[in-house]
């Protein structure tokens, strides 16, 4: 063991992914991607654009290709530094799909049937309830287990999938011997769930048909101001966080996430002022918060050679990290060695 290994405890490993299904929303940013950047110094981090997951719903091939490249650039613009983290595209590392097959044979039909995302998505895409949509959580488990990740930073909506990944890991380990680390979810304290600006009882989602329902992280200032001005609130005129005030609660959460102010501070700041002033302040604060991401995205998008180089390095690193684990899995289940 080297001197350094003796004195420096190994960093914990984290893995997370995001689908290239559109421009990231303020919800994706605050709930997930913003935290990825903040975690990369403390953890050994691996971040992935999950294009294999994206094709579980209908994608137009040219649009998927463009969306994947944009999602990769967005991920870097949000603060993921490819020198500190492994940043890559899922389909570039075949070990995810290979492991997924093996894990699917340790996953029960009944468990997959209970997944709420499957139920929601099959209701929304009734004309395309494909087998991939059903086995989506197995591939997500493979993403995580292929790296023996300790922690998985996700929004609250993904906790059920993570619980399944843990069950698959435990089951495999029990049957074939200790192979996988059992991962923990990491939902940061600030990992608030942002709601739709048009229907604050629904999650802000990048695939919402109503563009006014969510703020995209590349929206310009005028668009952001307009979306907040139109945000649904209530008929009172009091900025305070209280049950039944879903619209105001959501705007206060957003304002708090981008300014760091507490709910009490926000209530004091807007005492005696109307919702119009409050909405403008939220819009201004969000636009200021996102401005550096927008300009960094513009800079990165103009440098395709750099992006392609980062993508190539990232896939090579990801492949190397997973090859040994996959060989171990193959040996454990009884496949003949490939000479």
**Where does this chain bind ligand LTN (CB under 6 A)?**
15-19, 50, 53, 140, 143-144, 152, 154, 158, 161
Minimum CB distance to ligand LTN, residue 274 (Å): 37
Number of Cβ within a 10 Å radius of residue 114:
11
Residue 28 engages ligand ATP in binding (rule: CB under 6 A): yes
Q: Give the one entry of ligand LTN, ligand ATP, none that residue 37 binds, where binding means its C-beta sits below a cut-off of 5 to 8 angstroms depending on kind.
A: none
Catalytic residue of the set 121, 227, 245, 279 = 121
Partner from ligand ATP, ligand LTN, none contacting 247, C-beta within 5 to 8 A by type: none
Give the distance, in angstroms, between the CA of residue 303 and the centroid of all CA atoms in the same chain.
24
Helix spans in the chain (H): 3-7, 26-28, 34-39, 51-54, 61-77, 95-104, 109-113, 116-124, 131-145, 159-176, 221-229, 246-259, 263-269, 275-301, 304-333
Collapsing DSSP to helix, strand or coil, 47 comes out as strand
Which whole-number Å values give the CA distances from 37 to 25, 74, 109, 156, 280, in the listed order?
Answer: 16, 12, 36, 19, 28
For ligand LTN, the closer of residues 147 and 297 by Cβ is 147
The yes or no reply on residue 67 touching ligand ATP (CB under 6 A) is no
| Residue labelled with tokens 């995205």 | 297
Q: Which does 138 bind (CB under 5 to 8 A by kind): ligand LTN, ligand ATP, none?
A: none
CB 40 within 8 A of CB 80: yes
The answer to whether 121 is a known catalytic residue is: yes
| Catalytic option among 12, 84, 206, 328 | 206
Q: How far is the CB of 66 from ligand ATP (least distance, A)?
A: 16
| Subset of 135-194 contacting ligand ATP (CB under 6 A) | 154-155, 157-158, 193-194
Q: Given CA atoms 326, 327, 333, 337 in this order, what sign does their dihedral have?
A: positive
Shortest reach from residue 69's CB to ligand LTN, in Å: 18
Residue 40 interacts with ligand ATP (CB under 6 A)? no
Whether residue 279 lies in the annotated active site: no
Q: Does 70 bind ligand ATP (CB under 6 A)?
A: no
Lookup: tokens for 47? 């971040």
Assign 219 to helix, strand or coil: coil
Binding window for ligand ATP (CB under 6 A); candidates: 16-24, 106-114, 231-239, 305-313? 16-24
Residue 325 binding partner per list ligand LTN, ligand ATP, none, with a CB distance cut-off of 5 to 8 Å that depends on partner kind: none
CB-count exposure of residue 327 (10 Å: 0-12, 13-18, 19+): middle
Q: Does the annotation count 324 as an active-site position?
A: no
Question: Rounded distance, CA 251 to CA 310, Å?
Answer: 36
Question: Does 227 participate in binding ligand ATP (rule CB under 6 A)?
Answer: no
Under the binding rule (CB under 6 A), the answer on residue 80 touching ligand ATP is no
Min dist CB 53 to ligand ATP, Å, is 8
Instruction: Say how far apart CA 248 and CA 241 lie, in whole Å.
Output: 7
For residue 32, the minimal CB distance to ligand ATP (Å) is 4
Q: How far is the C-alpha of 254 from the C-alpha of 143, rounded, in Å? A: 30
Q: Which of 203, 227, 245, 279 is catalytic?
A: 203
Q: Judged by CB under 6 A, does residue 204 bind ligand ATP?
A: yes
Report d(CA 183, CA 293) in Å as an integer.
Answer: 30
State in angstroms the smallest separation of the CB of 110 from ligand LTN: 20
Active site positions, annotated = 121, 203, 206
Residues that bind ligand ATP (CB under 6 A): 18-19, 21, 25, 27-28, 31-32, 154-155, 157-158, 193-194, 203-207
């Amino acid at each position: 063991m080297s001197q350094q290994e003796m004195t420096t405890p190994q960093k914990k490993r984290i893995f997370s992914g995001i689908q290239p299904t559109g421009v990231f929303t303020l919800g994706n940013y605050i709930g997930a991607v913003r935290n990825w950047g903040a975690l990369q110094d403390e953890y050994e981090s691996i971040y992935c654009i999950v294009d294999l997951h994206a094709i579980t719903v209908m994608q137009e091939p040219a649009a998927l290709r463009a969306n994947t490249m944009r999602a990769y650039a967005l991920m870097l613009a949000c603060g993921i530094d490819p020198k500190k983290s492994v940043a890559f595209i899922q389909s570039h590392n075949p070990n995810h799909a290979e492991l997924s097959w093996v894990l699917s044979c340790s996953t029960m039909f009944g468990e997959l049937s209970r997944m709420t995302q499957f139920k929601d998505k099959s209701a929304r895409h009734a004309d395309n309830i494909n087998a991939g949509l059903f086995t989506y959580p197995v591939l997500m488990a493979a993403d995580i287990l292929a790296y023996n990740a300790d922690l998985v930073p996700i929004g609250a909506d993904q906790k059920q999938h993570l619980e399944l990944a843990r069950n698959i890991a435990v089951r495999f380990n029990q049957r074939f011997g200790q192979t996988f680390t059992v991962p923990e979810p990491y939902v940061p304290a600030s990992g608030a769930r942002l709601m739709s600006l048009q229907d604050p009882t629904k999650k802000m989602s990048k695939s919402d048909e109503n563009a006014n329902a969510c703020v995209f992280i590349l929206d310009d200032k005028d668009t952001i101001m307009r979306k907040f001005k139109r945000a649904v609130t209530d008929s009172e005129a009091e900025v305070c966080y209280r049950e039944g005030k879903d619209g105001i609660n959501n705007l206060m959460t957003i304002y708090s996430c981008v300014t760091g102010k507490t709910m009490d501070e926000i209530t004091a700041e807007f005492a005696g002022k109307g919702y119009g002033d409050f909405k403008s302040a939220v819009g201004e604060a969000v636009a200021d918060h996102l401005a550096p991401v927008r300009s960094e995205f513009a800079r990165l998008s103009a440098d395709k050679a750099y992006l392609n180089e980062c993508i190539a390095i990232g896939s090579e690193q990801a492949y190397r990290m997973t090859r040994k684990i996959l060989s171990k899995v193959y040996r454990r289940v009884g496949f003949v060695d490939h000479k």
